[in-house]
Amino acid sequence: MPSWTRLIRDVADFPRPGIVFKDITPVLADAAAFDAVLEALAAPWRETPIDAVLAIEARGFIFGAPLARALGAGFVPIRKPGKLPGRTLSQRYALEYGHDTLELQADALPIGARVLLVDDVLATGGTLKAARTLAERAEADIVGAAVLIELTALGGRARWQSDAPLQAVLSM
């Protein structure tokens, strides 16, 4: 296991009772660890033509923008409701502790753009599935998805339901 994994902290009962939050702040605060994480996220995609990295608010942004730069791609944010100007596509989804909605600007991508979805953690898979649905509705070509941590016990990978690869740097 990479040495930076020791920096990940479990925070019990956050953001709700019964949830164990994976705190990656110490990884982000350590320059060498953050660099290693970004390199690990980029490595599987270096030979894949990608037009844009679609990163999911909020912690997905932390990885999405530098990953887009490393891959020579554009960056497109997928945000919570009311944060994007103009016409948006919206997708409601279930979380392990409730429901939420994601939005993508309707004109953010040309039809057929090759996109990589990025987030920090794959838990139950609802967030990533909603992002995939938004990209599909925007008529993008999804080349895959990348996450830092996959919580395998929660079964989120089963909700990916795509032929495009889903890469996790760390499975826990």
Which residue of the set 69, 96, 114, 136 is catalytic? 96
Which residue of the set 59, 132, 157, 159 is catalytic? 59
- Residue environment code for 31-56, b if the CB has 16+ CB neighbours within 10 A, otherwise e: eebbebbbebbbeebeeeebbbbbbb
| Amino acid present at 126 | G
Catalytic site residue 137?
A: no
Catalytic site residue 103?
A: no
Pairwise CA distance, residues 134 & 128, whole Å: 10
In sequence order, which residues have a C-beta less than 8 Å from that of residue 137 and are 6 or more positions away? 89, 91, 104
Pairwise CA distance, residues 122 & 127, whole Å: 8
Task: Provide the annotated active-site residues.
Answer: 59, 96
